[in-house]
Structure 1
Amino acid sequence: MSTTAESPPGTGVDTVDAVIIGAGFSGLYMLHKLRDEMGLHARVFETGHGVGGTWYWNRYPGARSDSDSYIYGYTFDRGLWEEWEWSERYPESHEIRSYLEHVADRFDLAKDITFGTRVVSATWDDERAHWTVTTDGGETVVATYVISAVGALSASNTPPFEGADTFRGPTFHTGHWPHEGVDFRGQRVGMIGSGASAVQATPLIAAQAAELTVFQRTANYIVPANNGPVDPAVKAERLKDWAGIRERIQNSNFGFELYLQDKGAAEVSDDEREALLEDFWNRGGFHIWLGGYADMFFSTEANDLVRKFLDRKIREKVDDPETAELLVPKGYPFGCKRNPLDSGYFETFNEPHVHLVDVKSNPISAITETGLRLADGTEHAFDTLVFATGFDAMTGPLNRIDFRGRHGQLLREKWAEGPRTYLGLMSHGFPNLFTVTGPQSPSVLSNMPVSIEQHVDYIGRIIDDLRARGAARIEPTKDAEDGWCAYNQEIANATLFPTADTWYMGANIPGKPRQFLPNLDFVGPYRAKCDQIAENGWEGFAVDGEAVPAGEHVYTWAVA
């Protein structure tokens, strides 16, 4: 029995098995999975005019992955994995786009992608068991399944500064950078924000600008990237170990070949701890964060021991003691805020034309015609403003689309107090709507391509099973969703994560509910949990109204 949606006769409406929203890592693999591996008719709608998703827009100076290049890509196809050679340890955005363009060409994906088109709404018809999707171009498509592949960090955020539209010079947001680039030579540049994009962009903008002033609300713990070409011998060894690497990252905590220490920071001697942290600092990357001491995520005492090391490293890099003190993070634990990788950020503030302004104690009160004004009345004049102010993470991209489920309920209204999902994959009352690496899944706490592949494969498994049964719809039960939401917050509250005002908690968006947005099951344990749910007859889901209660194991925390 086919479960393909049927549109009313004579309407001229396109009818497909699935609509996929977004053509980044998630959307491209989802299309390949459904079309090439499962034989379904799928269409992709992408706002940009090319593939890449977040990487289509993120073209600011220094934009690059913070995952090692050999694991920042698909592993589902060995030939694809072996034929692509990255130039550096951490690939820049243009190289990631080239890689995704290569993937699209290799699998002939573009023919089923409609570019330059935004999905405006998707409305569920419970009687016909299909979705009606509309676009900003006026097209209507009927589909049995809708898969959101919009990404976790694709809805850029610009704070509503008073006078934001009055500045007479050009303004740029790091999340939507001009494709032709920006020439900062001879410019007085003001950069608002000091998160991951600012950390990457600051050294390169400073190298051009006549003057650069960074307005910092929250200082970041930043560890060295130690980027550069990868040793050919290391490349050769990795090339031979596709199966081993794939197995290890899929069953790891974070999608990296990094493993937390057996002993905690508070359990080892000062000399042993210092030696390990120094070694990890010199290696670069996320070793200190994701391969360090597990107790630093639970114990303030242990966290303070690691912070002491990192604070000293910052002070060693920055010449001016007052500036160094501003750059030393305060008021939150290390590891509970996104940990950017550093390629000269701290040293940039040793340059005489680069300035740091603390807007925690003296906030920005307004954007003016010539620059900006602080709360104490201080005026700063600029030729150009750069907003490195981040994203409305995880829920923001989904809330910008009018998803209407059963009885016309809007998803954003259901989520008014925070996301409500089961496994970060589906939401009760919205049958056949899937969110790839959605809120309350490991997603942003992992190497994203690993989590993306797991979700895409799982969605394919669900749809394949539905079609084999001749079933029309699937959705989580309310009980399973309630349990997952409670469990998600319970395990977060067992850690130090909620003590930090981060976008993980929605704290960067005024009025956004304070709720931990990712999931802390981590990659390997979460994968195992999903597999067991499937093997136990789709625990926590209702297929054509027949519900299977979620077992206790679903809400058991078992970090690898």
Structure 2
Amino acid sequence: MPTQTLPEVDAVVVGAGFAGLRTIHLLRQLGLSMQVFEAGDDVGGTWYWNRYPGARTDTESWAYCFSFDRELWQRWDFRERYTAQPDVLAYLRAVADKHDMRRHIRFSTRVDGAYFDEATNRWTVTTGDGLQITSRWLITGLGWLGIAYKPPFPGADSFEGESYVTSQWPKEPVDFAGRRVAVIGTGATGIQVIQSVGQVAEHLTVFQRTPNYALPGRNHALGPEQQQALRRDFENVWEKTFNHVFAFPMEPANRLGAQVDDAELERVLEAGWEAGGFHYIFETFDDMLVDQRVNDAASEFVRRKIRAIVRDPATAELLCPKTHPIGGKRPPLGNFYYETYNQPNVTLVSVRDDPIQKITPTGLRTGTAEYEFDVIIYATGFDAITGPLASMNVHGVGDRTIAEQWAQDPKALLGIASPGFPNLFAILGPQAPFASHPPVIETQVELIGKLLAHAIEQGAERVEATEEAARAWSEQCDTILNATLLPQGMGDRPWFLGANVPGKKPSTLCYLGGLGSYRAAVDKEADGGFPGFTLSRSPVPA
């Protein structure tokens, strides 16, 4: 039962990361009242919680921010090519402070339920500490990676050492010096942890199920001359970013691997590897993810690099991905990741064919060996995309929960609105663009703003995605996915297809057509008067 009912507002916003802060700015522009709830004790969202060693972006820092505040962008100190977690958090704090956003936010307050009233067309939102509030609109900014997936290893609670989940890292530094450390998982997070912890631990043992194509990040400090050049390039940076398939500040390759010979393939791939980051995929060949020959060449190129870098041949082969195409799992960036395995204090253990059976009081046991540790770090991924909102206990029309609906049919028109859940807009919902998040967030918040303005102008009290439009968008997402080579990676359980969590139905959870094409679809929907949504002027009869 609620212990306190707050005054009704026009909109409740859940989350105070990139999405929540951008939404505050939007709602102010529309003149709407709001209440924002944030589970953490500060702004930051994903970048508040994921403070594990080595955490940083894999998008260039000058595009992992907001475009709406040009003044802050042009005076911000982008210290590195890829921003470290403390600097991302500092940037979001600066945005919140500059725009006086904190006054709208209740921190340390976790939303535990939302219920749509069909008689009044309003949402009632409840929190874990007994608050209740009613609003016309409910906007969630929970991100894709808000719910950690920790495999239910038997005996996990029996471990007598220290254990950590990367997305729930303590604020206080953890000292690994002189300690035996296990890292379970080699996705993007695991790779960042391994690079950092391997430098200080007495011994680090990495447990890997599926090797990844880790691309060299080539991170570096940005000098004053580079920063000055960036500040002069504001329009160009954002034009490239908003039109790029993955929302990176890059130009398309304008080159097809299908049209060049093997020698030219090799030359261009080498240049992309040296450029670092996702330039290897997006500035080499535009057909890398759809042409088998080009993808095979790019995949084998990375495997040759691994074999050249890692001195021990057996370890090198374990690190070589051979069961999915490059792109079939989201490639992480490494900064001397493969070189880490040349250190005498780092050991790689494959659990693909010899999985972890049990966590013991002193470490863990596979089917063939037992290991002792002082610390175990779980970098085992997330119940991604649908997990965060599905876990929030959201009840729509007919009291159906969004968890029930998405378990069978996780579709959302333009990645923000699901049929049966009127007046609910989920930023980065299922079938949103698979791209760097801040530019996607800005695009989706602008879409929500146009839709709300249209509803207010029409006097509408209820806005709901139609089943037909949501189905058509979902089918378009399927069509694009199936035109690529990415489904070949399904056996390696890619999280962006919902395949990494046992019992979760694999499905097309992302729009893979690129941010530029997505923005064109958004403009078409808005310019056409939002034909994919039903707007109602009066409440539905009880």
Summarize the alignment of residues 121-520 of structure 1 with structure 2, pairs less than 5 Å apart. 121-376=113-368, 378-442=369-433, 445-500=434-489, 501-520=493-512
Question: Does the CA-based 8 Å contact 2:281-2:288 persist in structure 1?
Answer: no
2:10 matched residue in structure 1: 17
Q: TM-score, normalised on structure 2?
A: 0.96
> What is the SS of the residue equivalent to 1:416?
helix
**Is the Cα contact below 8 Å between 1:23 and 1:45 reproduced in 2?**
yes
Q: Equivalents in 1 of 2:81, 2:231: separation in Å? A: 14
Q: Which residue in 2 is equivalent to 1:3? A: none
CA distance in 1, matches of 2:243, 2:293: 30
1:257 offset after TM fit, Å?
A: 2.5
Question: What is the alpha-carbon distance in structure 2 between the residues aligned to residue 397 and residue 79 of structure 1?
Answer: 33
Contact conserved, 2:238 with 2:249, CA < 8 A, in 1? Answer: no
Residues in 2 aligned to 1:99 and 1:260: alpha-carbon distance in whole angstroms: 28
Which of these residues, 19, 22, 45, is aligned with residue 37 of structure 2? 45
Q: Partners in 1 of 2:518 and 2:274 — Cα distance?
A: 31
Aligned-residue identity in percent: 43
Is the deviation greater in 296-305 or in 422-431?
A: 296-305
Describe the superposition over 1:132-178 as per-residue Cα deviations: whole angstroms up to 9, x where unpaired: 00000100010100001001111111011111111111100111111
SS at match of 1:44: strand
In the alignment, which residue of structure 2 is the partner of 1:30?
A: 23
Deviation at 1:129, TM superposition (A): 1.1
Q: Which moved more, 1:182-191 or 1:80-89?
A: 80-89
Supply the AA of the counterpart residue of 2:276. G
Amino acid at match of 2:217: A
Instruction: Assess if the C-alpha contact under 8 Å between 2:26 and 2:445 holds in 1.
Output: yes
- Higher mean alpha-carbon deviation, 89-98 vs 225-234, is at 225-234
Deviation at 1:230, TM superposition (A): 2.0
- Aligned residue for 2:148, secondary structure, equals coil
SS in 2 for 1:347: helix
Tell me which amino acid in the other structure corresponds to 2:342: N
Q: How far apart, in 2, do the equivalents of 1:78 and 1:404 lie?
A: 39
| 1:72 corresponds to 2:41 | no
Q: Which one-letter code corresponds to 1:512 in the other structure?
A: K
Q: 1:472 to 1:458 in 2, by over 3 A?
A: same
Q: What is the CA distance between 1:492 and its match in structure 2?
A: 0.7
| In 2: Cα distance, 1:239 partner to 1:259 partner | 19
1:4 matched to which residue of 2? none
For 1:25 and 1:228, how far apart are their aligned partners in 2? 24
Give the structure-1-normalised TM-score. 0.93
User: CA 1:135–1:367 in 2, change beyond 3 Å: closer, same or farther?
Assistant: same
Of 309-318 and 287-296, the range deviating more from structure 2: 287-296
Corresponding letter in the other structure for 1:261: A
Contact 1:31 1:43 in 2 (8 A): no
CA displacement 1:235-282 (0-9 Å, x = unmatched): 222211212222221122221132443332232122222221111111
Q: Is the 8 A contact 1:152 1:395 kept in 2?
A: yes
Post-superposition shift, 1:231? Answer: 4.1
- CA drift at 1:291: 2.3
Distance 2:353 2:106 in 1: 47
1:85 paired residue among 77, 81, 92: 77
Aligned amino acid, residue 181 of structure 1: P
In structure 1, what residue type is equivalent to 2:518?
Answer: Y
Amino acid at match of 1:510: P
The answer as to whether partners of 1:266 and 1:305 remain within 8 angstroms in 2 is no
Deviation for aligned residue 1:545: 7.7
- Answer yes or no: is the 8 Å Cα contact 2:458–2:537 preserved in 1: no
Tell me which amino acid in the other structure corresponds to 2:516.
G
Q: CA deviation at 1:12?
A: 4.6
Instruction: Show CA shifts across 1:15-55 (max 9, x none).
Output: 001011100000011011102x1221111101111110000
Give the CA deviation at 1:312: 0.7
Kindly indicate whether the alpha-carbon contact (under 8 Å) linking 2:494 and 2:500 is maintained by their aligned counterparts in 1. yes
What SS does the corresponding residue of 1:297 show, helix, strand or coil? coil
Residue 265 of structure 1 contacts residue 306 of structure 1 at CA under 8 Å; is this kept in 2?
no
**Does the 8 Å contact 1:394/1:439 carry over to 2?**
yes
Q: Using the TM superposition, give the Cα deviation of residue 361 of structure 1 relative to its aligned residue in structure 2, in angstroms.
A: 1.1
One-letter amino acid of the counterpart of residue 447, structure 1: S
> In 2, are the aligned partners of 1:265 and 1:305 still within 8 Å (CA)?
no
Q: Does the residue aligned with 1:66 lie in a helix, a strand or coil?
A: strand
Q: Do the aligned partners of 1:156 and 1:175 also contact (CA within 8 Å) in 2? A: yes
Contact persistence 1:253–1:259 (CA under 8 A): no
Distance 1:109 1:92 in 2: 23
Question: After superposition, where does 1:525-540 map in structure 2 within 5 Å?
Answer: 525-540=517-532
Tell me, in whole angstroms, the C-alpha distance in 2 between the residues paired with 1:32 and 1:56. 20
